[in-house]
Amino acid sequence: MAILKTEKIIKKFGGLVAVKNMDFEVNEKEIVGIIGANGAGKTTFFNCISGNLEPTSGRIIFDGHNITKYKPYQIAKLGLARTFQVVKPFANKTVLYNVTVGAFVKTQHKKDAIEKAEETINFLNIYEKKNVLAKNLTLPERKRLELARALATRPKLLLLDEVMAGLRPDEIKDMLKIIEKINNHGVTIVIIEHIMQVIMSVSKRIYAMNFGEKIACGTPEEVAKNKNVIKAYLGDEYVIS
Amino acid sequence: MGSAILNGILMGSIYGLTAVGLTLIFGVLKVINFAQGAFLMSGLFATYWFVKFTGTNPYLALVVVVPFTYFMGYYIQKFLIKPVFESEKDVREPIGVIIVTTGIWYMLDNLALMLFGAQYRTINVPSVSKAISIFGLYAPLSKIIGFFISITVSGLLFWFLKYSKMGKAIRATSQDREAASLMGINQYKIYNVTFGIGTAICGIAGAVLLPFYYVYPTVGMHLDIMDFVIVVLGGLGSIPGALVGGLIIGLIESVGSQFIAYSWTIEVIYIIFLIILFVKPSGLFGVKGEF
Amino acid sequence: MKFSEKQIKLILLMLSAIVVFLIPVFIKNQGYIQIFIVVMFFMYIATAWNFVGGFAGVLPLGNAAFIAIGAYTSTILFVQYGISPWVGMLAGGIISAIIGIIIGLPTFKLRGAYFALATIAFGEGIKVLFQNIDKIGSVNVGGARGILISYSGDSFANFQWVSRIPYYYIILVMLIILLAITVFLMNSKMGYYLIAGGEDPEAAASLGVNVAKYKLIAMALSAFFTAIAGTFYAQWILYILPKSVGSIDLSFEIAFIAIIGGRGTIIGPILGALLLKPLGELTRTYLGGALPGLHLFILGLILVLVMIYQPRGIQEVLTKIFNRFVKKMVTIKRS
Ligand SMILES: Nc1ncnc2c1ncn2[C@@H]1O[C@H](COP(=O)(O)OP(=O)(O)OP(=O)(O)O)[C@@H](O)[C@H]1O
Ligand SMILES: [Mg+2]
C-alpha cells in the first residue's frame, strides 16, 4: 500500500521550474532512493513534501491525508519526518536537548520525552555525546544528530536528504547499517543521495531526476541500465545503443 | 500650505540623505546600524566646533567633517562590529550586530554629553539663514543649499557604486558575499569602506543640517527613528528608495503639522511605519526576499 | 557529612534566599532598601523580557510599552474609579497580553532586524499616544503631564505605604514567582519548543513545533508579567508619566540588562541587573554631577565588550566559576 503518493508536483521559482510533474509513490516499509545531479530538484521536491515549500501545483497524499497545503509542523505531527541537507542543529543546546525536542511530538511529559530521546541516541550510537553542545560536534556527528532528532518523532516515513554526503567510507557503512536498522523497525524511508553505489545497496526502488523531471524509476539494476540516467550522469558518449 | 510643501521637500531631502547612509550599510552588510543617529550627531558637533573655532562657513567644514566621520565609521566597523559579525556568520537571526551598534550609539551620545554638556547649540550664519523666494514660496537659503547638496551627494554615491572599481566591489559583495570573496575581494575591507562611507554621509548631513538646526548630545535619537521609518518605507538597501522615503516623511511631517499637532504627526508616521512592516516589508523600492 | 554538588547548590540557593529575605531586618536605611527594590524591579522586567528576547530568539525593543499599559490601566482604575490596584494589576496584565498577541501576530513573521524595528515603533507609538491623549470621554489620561496618585494612608488594598519595606517584599515575591514560572516552563514541552523555535524555526517546525503559536504564547506571557511590573512601579513611585514608564530608554535598558547578563538563560537577567543597576546608581550618584551620562557611557561600553568577548553574556563565565567553586566544596568535604 502506498504510504506517500505525489501527483504532478510542479514547483516554480520565478521562471525556473525546479520540479516538473513529479509522480512519485512509496509503499509502506519500503526504502526508496532518489538520485540526480546537482540542482536536479531533489531537495526542492522534499521541501514540497515536508511542507517547507508549497508546490505550485499538484497533490500530495500521505497516509490517507491530502497534505498539499499543510504546514511543516502539521505534516511532522502526522508522522512524516525529514533531515536537512544543510544540517540545522539547535546549536547552543546539547545533543540530548536537540533530540528531546523531537521526542516531545508524542508526549507532554519531559520524562517520557527524555527517555525516548535517550533511547534514540543510544540506537544511533552517539550516547557518549549526549551532553555535548551541538555546535561542538563534527560534521558526521551533526548528520547523526539530524537523523536522531527526526527519528525521535517516531515517524512512519523518514525523508533523508544526503545524510551520507561528506562522510568517510567506513562512516558511510555505519550509516547504511543504521538506515537498514531503522527500516527493520517498520519505518518507511525515502533517501536522496548523489552516489549511486551507496543508494543502490539499500534501496528497493530508485527514482532518477534530471532538471526537475523524473527520468527513470525502477529497481536499482533497471535504473543503472537506463539510457537517460547514463546520459544524465555520464554524458551522451557513454550511452551504448 | 505651499510653503509647507516646499519646506517638507527640502527637509525631506536631508532626511533622505541620512537614510541613504543607513540603507547603504544595510544593503552591503545586512546590518541595521542603530548608531546612525549618533553618527549624525557627531557630524553636527564636528561642524559646530569647526565653525566655532575657525569662524568660517559651515559648508567649508565638510573638508574636515567628511574625513573625520569616514574614519570614525571605518574603524568602528573594523574594531567593534567585525568581531561580532564574524562570530555570527552562520547564525540565522544575527542580532548581536544590532546590539553592538546600539552600544556604540550609547557610547557616542554620552561621550558627547560628558564633553559638551546637554545644552542645545546653534550657529548663526546670516548669509544663509535669510529666506529667499522660489516661485513665490519662501524658504531659508540654508535649506535650499541642503537640498542641492543632498541630491548631489546621493547622485555621486549612485555613480560611484555603479562605475568606480571600489563601487563595483561593494555591489558585488552586497549581492553575494561568498562569490565576491572568491573573486578576490576582501569582504571585510569592503565592509569597513562601506561603513566609512555610510558614516561620512551622516557627517555631510550634519554639516548641511546645522545652519538651520541645533545640536545636542541626543539629537540623533529622533532622526534615528525617522531614518528607520524612511529606509523601510523606501525599501531597505535601496538608495533611490531612501531619498523618496525621506521626501515622503518630510512632506508628512511638515504638511501634517498644518492640520494636526506635531506630536500627532509623529504618531501617524509610526502607524504608517507599522502598516508597511506588516503589509509590505520590502517597502516601495526594495527587493523581494525574506523579512 | 557528605554533600553532592546538587545538594550544595540547593543549600547555597536557600542561604541566599534567607539573606535576601532578612535584608530589611538588618538594613534600616530606606535609601539602600530603595536600591534593592530598583535592582529587583529590573531583574523582574528583564526576566519577563527574556521569554521573547531570550528564549524565542528575537529582539524586542519596545517592552516599556507594556509597563506603560500596566501602569496606566491600574492607575486610571484606582484614581478615578477607586478600584484596588491589585485588581487593576490583573486587568493591565490581561490587556497587555492581548495587545502583545495582536502586535505579535504580524511581527513574528518578520526577521531579526525588522522585528526589532517594529517593536521600537510600537513602543514609541504607545508612548506618544499616552503623551497626546489628555482625556478619553470622562477618563483623565493626563497627557504629557502624567498622573499623580495621591497618598491616602498605608493600606494593602490600596497598595500604598510610606515605608519602602512592603515594596521590597512585594517585588521580591513577584520576582520569585516569575522565576519559578520560568524554571517550570523551561523544563516543560513549551520551553523546549520555544527555545527550539528560537534557535532554528525551520528545523523546529520539521519536528512538529508550531513555532508561531509558541512565540505568541511567549509574547502574551512576557507582556502580562511586564504590565504587572508597571502597576508595581506606579504604586511604588505614585507618579507615572509617559516619559518615565514608556520611554525608549527603558525599553533598551531592559534588553541590555538581559543581554549583558545572558539572554536565553534563567540566571542571565538576574546577573545583568545585579551588575548594572548598582553600577549605574553608584556612578550616577558619585560622578553624575561632574560627568552626566557616564553611567550610560559605561553601559554602552559594557554592551559592546560583552558582545565581542562574551556573546552569551556574563553568565557563562560566572556559571563556570561557580561550578568550579561548588566542585571544590565537594572535594573539601570529602577529604
Ligand atoms: N528557494 C529557492 N529559490 C530559487 N531557486 C531555488 C530555490 N531552491 C532551489 N532553487 C533552484 O532550484 C533548482 C533545484 O535545486 P535543488 O536544491 O532542489 O537541487 P538538488 O537536486 O537538491 O541539488 P543538490 O544535489 O545540489 O542538493 C536549482 O537550480 C536551485 O538553484
Ligand atoms: Mg539537494
Same domain? For A229 and A205 the reply is yes
Is residue A131 assigned to a domain?
yes
Q: Using a pLDDT cut of 90, give the percent of chain C over it.
A: 75
Question: If you average pLDDT over residues A38-50, what whole number do you get?
Answer: 93
Residue type, C10: L
List A133's β-bridge partners, or say none. A94
| Backbone phi and psi for residue B236, each to the nearest 5 degrees, phi listed first | -55, 130
Q: Give kind and range of the element (H or E) at residue A113.
A: helix A110-123
| Nearest CB to C58; choose among B93, B104, B274 | B93
* CA atoms of B135 and B149, how far apart (whole Å): 21
Same domain? For A122 and A159 the reply is no
Residue B226: closest C-alpha in chain C? C121
Question: If you average pLDDT over residues C71-88, what whole number do you get?
Answer: 96
Q: Using a pLDDT cut of 90, give the percent of chain B over it.
A: 53
* CA atoms of C79 and A86, how far apart (whole Å): 59
Domain ranges across chain C:
5-334
pLDDT for residue A239 is more than 70: no
Residues of chain B with Cβ-Cβ distance to C122 below 8 Å are 274
Mutate which: C131, C308, C309, vs B, most B CBs within 10 A: C308
Same domain? For A110 and A212 the reply is no
CA-atom Rg of chain C in angstroms: 21
* CA atoms of B16 and B22, how far apart (whole Å): 10
Q: Which ligand is closest to the CA of A34, given by its number?
A: 1
Other residues' Cβ atoms within 10 Å of the Cβ of residue A15: 5
Same domain? For A1 and A67 the reply is yes
Same domain? For A1 and A120 the reply is no
**Residue A237 pLDDT level (bands cut at 50, 70, 90):** low
3-state class (DSSP) for residue A213: strand
3-state class (DSSP) for residue B26: helix
Q: Is-contact C335 C8, C-beta < 8 A?
A: no
* CA atoms of C84 and C197, how far apart (whole Å): 39
* CA atoms of C152 and C170, how far apart (whole Å): 19
Q: Using a pLDDT cut of 70, give the percent of chain A over it.
A: 97
pLDDT for residue B199 is more than 70: yes
What pLDDT is recorded for position A195? 76
For chain A, the domain total comes to 2
Q: What is the pTM of this model?
A: 0.91
Question: Cell numbers 552591503 label which residue?
Answer: B28
Q: How many helices (H) and strands (E) does chain C have?
A: 14, 4
| Domain of residue A186, CATH code | 3.40.50.300
* CA atoms of C176 and A7, how far apart (whole Å): 56
Residues 6 or more apart from B204 whose CB is under 8 A from it?
A: B17, B43, B62, B65, B66, B149, B153
- With a CB-CB cutoff of 8 Å, which residues 219-278 of chain C face chain B? 248, 252, 255-256, 259
What pLDDT is recorded for position A235? 62
Min mean pLDDT across A159-163, B103-107, C327-331 is at C327-331
pLDDT for residue A236 is more than 70: no
Per-residue buried b or exposed e for A81-113, using 16+ beta carbons within 10 Å of the residue's own CB: bbbbbebbbbbbbbbbbbbbbbbbbeeeebeeb
Segment A56-98, tens digit of pLDDT: 999 999 999 999 999 999 999 999 999 999 999 998 899 999 9
Q: Which chains touch C (3 or more CB pairs under 8 A)?
A: A, B
Segment B248-277, tens digit of pLDDT: 999 998 898 888 888 888 899 899 989 988
C-alpha cell at B149: 547638496
Q: Residues with Cβ within 5 Å of ion ligand 2?
A: A 42-43, 85
What pLDDT is recorded for position B290? 47
Edge-to-edge strand list for the sheet holding A16-27: A16-27, A2-13, A57-62, A65-66
C-alpha cell at A15: 521562471
Residue B105: closest C-alpha in chain C? C300
Among protein residues, the one with the nearest Cα to ligand 1's atom 25 is A38
Question: Cell numbers 484596588 label which residue?
Answer: C84
What pLDDT is recorded for position A241? 47
Q: Which of B209, B195, B217 is nearest to B78 (CA)?
A: B195
| Nearest CB to C206; choose among A76, A89, A91 | A76
Same domain? For A13 and A55 the reply is yes
ipTM: 0.91
Residues 6 or more apart from A49 whose CB is under 8 A from it?
A: A4, A6, A60, A62, A67, A75, A80, A82, A159
- With a CB-CB cutoff of 8 Å, which residues 93-112 of chain A face chain C? 93, 97, 100-102, 104-105, 107-110
Q: List domains and CATH numbers for chain B.
A: 2-279 (1.10.3470)
Phi/psi region, residue B127 (left: phi>0; alpha: psi -120 to 50; beta: rest), is alpha
Q: Is-contact C64 C222, C-beta < 8 A?
A: no
What pLDDT is recorded for position A34? 93
Segment B25-46, tens digit of pLDDT: 988 888 889 999 999 999 999 9
Q: B7 or C232: whose pLDDT is higher?
A: C232
Mean of pLDDT over chain C: 92
Q: Residue ranges of the alpha helices (H) in chain B? A: 2-29, 36-54, 62-76, 82-87, 96-116, 126-129, 141-163, 165-175, 177-182, 187-209, 219-234, 239-259, 262-279
Is residue A164 assigned to a domain?
yes
The Å distance, Cα A17 to ligand 1 centre, comes to: 10
Q: Please return the burial class of C163, using the count of CB atoms within 10 Å of its CB with bins 0-12, 13-18 and 19+.
A: exposed
CA–CA min distance B128, chain C (Å): 34
Question: If you average pLDDT over residues B235-248, what whole number do you get?
Answer: 90
Question: If you average pLDDT over residues C2-7, what whole number do you get?
Answer: 80
Q: Using a pLDDT cut of 70, give the percent of chain C over it.
A: 99
Please measure the distance between the N-terminal and C-terminal CA atoms of chain A and give it in whole angstroms.
36
Same domain? For A142 and A184 the reply is no
List A208's β-bridge partners, or say none. A35, A216
Segment A167-222, tens digit of pLDDT: 888 888 888 999 999 999 999 999 998 877 788 888 889 999 989 888 888 888 88
Q: Give kind and range of the element (H or E) at residue C305.
A: helix C294-309
Q: Please return the burial class of B222, using the count of CB atoms within 10 Å of its CB with bins 0-12, 13-18 and 19+.
A: exposed
Provide the domain limits for residue A55: 1-41+49-79+155-236
Domain boundary among A136, A154, A172: A154
Mean of pLDDT over chain B: 89
What pLDDT is recorded for position A158? 96
**CA C150 from centroid of its chain's CA atoms:** 26
Segment A162-171, tens digit of pLDDT: 988 888 888 8
C-alpha cell at A42: 531533489
* CA atoms of B23 and B45, how far apart (whole Å): 23
Question: If you average pLDDT over residues A23-34, what whole number do you get?
Answer: 93
Same domain? For A111 and A149 the reply is yes
The Å distance, Cα A207 to ligand 2 centre, comes to: 15
Q: Which of C306, C269, C299, C326 is nearest to C44 (CA)?
A: C269
Domain boundary among A101, A132, A154: A154
Domain boundary among A137, A154, A171: A154
List A26's β-bridge partners, or say none. A4
What pLDDT is recorded for position C83? 95
Question: If you average pLDDT over residues C186-205, what whole number do you get?
Answer: 94
**Residue B90 pLDDT level (bands cut at 50, 70, 90):** low
Same domain? For A185 and A221 the reply is yes
* CA atoms of A92 and A98, how far apart (whole Å): 10
Same domain? For A63 and A164 the reply is yes
Min mean pLDDT across A10-19, A41-50, B88-97, B189-198 is at B88-97
* CA atoms of B181 and B176, how far apart (whole Å): 9
Segment B136-145, tens digit of pLDDT: 888 888 999 9
| Backbone phi and psi for residue C106, each to the nearest 5 degrees, phi listed first | -80, -35
Q: Please return the burial class of C50, using the count of CB atoms within 10 Å of its CB with bins 0-12, 13-18 and 19+.
A: buried
Q: Which of A95, A88, A49 is nearest to A72 (CA)?
A: A49
Same domain? For A129 and A203 the reply is no
- The answer to whether B281 contacts C114, with C-beta atoms less than 8 Å apart, is yes
Segment B144-188, tens digit of pLDDT: 999 999 999 999 999 999 999 999 999 888 888 778 888 888 888
Same domain? For A204 and A148 the reply is no
Residues in chain A: 241
* CA atoms of A70 and C4, how far apart (whole Å): 49
What pLDDT is recorded for position C1? 59
Q: Measure the CA dihedral C292/C297/C302/C303, to 10°.
A: 130
What pLDDT is recorded for position C28? 86
* CA atoms of B181 and B174, how far apart (whole Å): 11
Helix, strand, coil in percent for chain A, rounding step 5: 40, 25, 30
Segment A115-171, tens digit of pLDDT: 999 999 999 988 999 999 998 999 889 999 999 999 999 999 999 999 888 888 888
Quick check: A50 contacting C, CB < 8 Å? yes
Is residue A241 assigned to a domain?
no
Q: Please return the burial class of A198, using the count of CB atoms within 10 Å of its CB with bins 0-12, 13-18 and 19+.
A: buried
What pLDDT is recorded for position A240? 52
CA C13-C19-C20 angle, to 5 degrees, is: 90
**Residue B94 pLDDT level (bands cut at 50, 70, 90):** confident
Is residue A14 assigned to a domain?
yes
**CA B187 from centroid of its chain's CA atoms:** 23
C-alpha cell at C259: 543581554
Q: Is-contact C115 C58, C-beta < 8 A?
A: yes
